[in-house]
Structure 1
Amino acid sequence: MAESVYKVVELVGTSSESWEKAAKAAVERAGESLRDLRVAEVVEQDIVMEGGKVSAYRTKLKLSFKYEGKD
Structure 2
Amino acid sequence: MSVLKVIEILANSDKSWEDATRKAVKHASKSVKNIRSVYVNEQSASIKDSEVTEFRVNLKITFEVD
TM-score (norm 1): 0.85
Quick check: 1:13–1:24 contact (8 Å CA) kept in 2? no
Cα deviation code 1:17-48 (max 9, x no counterpart):
10000000100000111110001011111001
Distance 1:29 1:48 in 2: 22
* Identity between Structure 1 and Structure 2 (%): 35
RMSD: 1.0
Kindly tell me the number of residue pairs found equivalent between the two proteins: 66
Structure 2 stretches lacking a partner, 5+ long = none
Higher relative contact order (CA 8 A, sep 6+): 2
Q: Does the residue aligned with 1:34 lie in a helix, a strand or coil?
A: coil
Where structure 1 has 5 or more consecutive residues not aligned to the other structure, the ranges are: none
Report the Cα offset of residue 50 of structure 1.
2.3
Kindly report structure 1 stretches of 4+ aligned residues shifted beyond 6 Å: none
TM-score by length of 2: 0.91
Mapped to 2, the partners of 1:31 and 1:18 lie a distance apart of 20
Larger Rg: 1
- Which of the numbers 8, 30, 33 marks the counterpart of 2:31? 33
Give 1:1-71 correspondences, 5 Å limit.
3-68=1-66
Name the one with the larger strand percent.
Answer: 2
